[in-house]
Structures are given as structure tokens and as C-alpha cells.
């Protein structure tokens, strides 16, 4: 996907970063340079008077400028929070469809990842590049180099455990459950028919996750998808036990054979792997 000497863009489309993160970003830039990658920063990284690093139009225009810059090999969003969906109307999906390039982001960037797939047919990568620094074991750095600069796939290879069913197959959509639901009722909400729906979350306990799942159920989503994939649910896992979310989903599934698979390797953890949104996935028990 990438090679040494490539220029990659680091952008912020969700909440602006606190100015105190500047040292971290320079450390990330240096780490990437050691790998042979040249990181180019967006002009809109840090919070100003409020949580915004720029207006929705400024952030969206900046993102488009990196898509239109042929010297940029890939785009990595380094933010998270609440406001990434602001930029969706500012993106030129026809341009992106004609000139696709890898876009990486997680959490609130679920909104952009799914909009890119729905409106431009462009696959995206549910992954936070800042985990290269957050993971102190060095595993993320090794996986990143092997998979994005090499020919191995360790960053994308996850262990799945079936909770229900024996096999599932389909194009993967979804991401953070709270952020995905921001797209409901908009032109950016993906078509769920026959898809594999992946869900994960950082915040939110049992009441919040129950509410999110019921919204999906009442929209008829569980009858449309071919299966459910579950990552980590950080707050829920810490307070109510790791498999509670899968139990909630199983209770709402259309039948006892409806396929549900879980992994502990995708989510908000410092060692979280990457899930490709818009790519076909096949799993068997």
C-alpha cells in the first residue's frame, strides 16, 4: 500500500486536539520518518476558542485538498470525538470515487468511513495511527511496517469467535455504534442489505448500548444484514463483563442461527488492529 518516501497526510475532522498534544504529534512525525514516511500536517489540527480546529467547510476543504494532491499516498485522521459528520457535505464524492486513496480513522471517523463507502464506493480503514505511540510494546509499529510498508497482513488479521451461527460472509460496514447512528436518516447512511455490520464502542454502559441496539432493531437493520461482528466495548466490558454486548445482540437477532462473531482485537485499545470498511469478509467457525 505504501512505500518508503511516500507522503501521508495527518488530518483532524472530528474534535480539535488540545495544544498539549503537539509534542505527541511531533513524536509521531519522527517515528513515521524513521519508517521512511513523510507526514504532512493539516492546517486544522488544534482546538481554538472551542473544541473546533476549524469550521466544517475548512476541515472538509482541507481533506479534499489532500485527496486532490497527487503527492499524498494516504490520509490518516488522528482525531476522535463528536463532530466529524460536520464535514460530510463538504466532500466531493465524485472526485473521491474517481481518485480513491486510503483513508484511515476510528471512533467518530466512522461517519466519514461509511459515507465514503456509501457515496463513493471507496473502502476505508478503521484504525488510529496514534496507537503507534500509545502501544509501548512495539507490536503496533511492527504490524504497521509489515502490513502497510511490507507484504504481510498482520495488522488486518484478527481472531474471531462465533457466538451464534457457523459462517458469515459479506461486505463489512459500521464501526463505532454511537457514531454510526449519527448517519441515520441522512444520505450517508449505508445500505445494510446483505452486509456484515461491525460494531464497537469506547464509552457507554449497558443502558446506552441497549438504546443503540434497539434503535438499529427498530430500523429493521438486523433483518437486512447477513451477520454481526462485534469488537470491544470498553466501558461496558469494564463494568458489565466482556460478553454482555454479544448477549444483548443475540437476544435481538432474528433467529438462533443468525451469525454473530466477536473479537477483542478491534476497538479503542492501544494494540487494536485495523478493520477494512467496504471489503468482503468470509468467516467460518
Indicate which residues carry an active-site annotation: 107, 200, 268
Cell numbers at residue 78, please? 488522528
Cell reading at 258: 443468525
Q: Crossing angle of helices 139-148/22-35, nearest 10°? A: 50
Q: What angle do CA 37, 116, 167 make, to 5 degrees?
A: 95
The helix, strand and coil proportions of the chain, stated in percent and rounded to the nearest 5, come to 40, 20, 40
Residues 6+ apart with CB under 8 A from 60: 13, 86, 87, 88, 89, 90, 91
Helices 244-252, 206-218: axis angle to 10 degrees equals 30
Could you tell me the three cell numbers for 61?
A: 476543504
Reading the block at residue 223, the C-alpha cell is 433483518
Strand partners, 32: none
176 DSSP assignment: E
Residue 144: all three cell numbers together: 504497521
Quickly tell me which residue has 477483542 as its cell: 264
- Separation CA 131–CA 83 (nearest Å): 21
CB 253 within 8 Å of CB 260: yes
Cell of 185: 436518516
Amino acid at each position: 500500500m505504501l512505500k518508503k518516501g511516500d507522503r501521508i497526510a495527518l488530518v483532524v475532522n472530528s474534535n480539535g486536539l488540545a495544544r498539549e498534544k503537539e509534542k505527541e504529534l511531533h513524536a509521531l512525525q519522527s517515528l513515521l520518518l524513521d519508517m521512511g514516511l513523510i507526514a504532512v500536517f493539516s492546517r486544522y489540527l488544534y482546538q481554538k476558542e472551542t473544541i473546533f480546529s476549524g469550521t466544517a467547510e475548512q476541515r472538509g476543504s482541507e481533506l479534499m485538498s489532500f485527496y486532490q494532491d497527487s503527492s499524498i499516498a494516504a490520509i490518516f485522521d488522528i482525531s476522535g470525538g463528536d463532530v466529524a459528520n460536520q464535514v460530510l457535505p463538504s466532500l466531493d464524492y465524485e472526485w473521491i470515487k474517481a481518485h480513491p486513496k486510503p483513508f484511515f480513522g476510528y471512533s467518530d471517523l466512522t461517519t466519514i468511513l461509511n459515507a465514503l463507502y456509501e457515496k463513493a464506493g471507496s473502502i476505508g480503514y478503521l484504525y488510529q495511527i496514534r496507537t503507534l505511540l500509545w502501544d509501548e510494546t512495539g507490536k503496533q509499529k511492527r504490524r504497521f511496517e509489515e502490513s502497510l510498508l511490507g507484504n504481510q497482513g498482520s495488522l488486518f488479521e484478527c481472531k474471531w469467535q462465533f457466538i451464534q451461527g457457523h459462517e458469515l460472509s459479506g461486505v463489512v460496514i459500521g464501526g463505532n455504534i454511537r457514531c454510526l447512528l449519527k448517519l441515520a436518516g441522512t444520505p450517508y447512511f449505508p445500505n445494510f442489505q446483505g452486509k456484515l455490520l461491525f460494531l464497537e464502542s469506547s464509552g457507554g454502559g449497558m443502558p446506552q448500548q441497549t438504546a443503540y441496539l434497539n434503535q438499529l432493531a427498530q430500523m429493521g437493520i438486523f433483518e437486512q444484514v447477513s451477520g454481526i461482528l462485534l469488537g470491544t466495548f470498553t466501558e461496558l466490558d469494564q463494568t458489565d463483563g466482556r460478553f454482555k454486548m454479544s448477549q444483548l445482540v443475540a437476544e435481538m437477532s432474528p433467529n438462533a442461527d443468525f451469525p454473530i462473531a466477536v473479537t477483542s482485537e478491534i476497538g479503542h485499545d492501544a494494540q487494536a488492529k485495523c478493520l477494512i470498511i467496504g471489503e468482503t469478509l468470509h468467516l467460518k467457525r
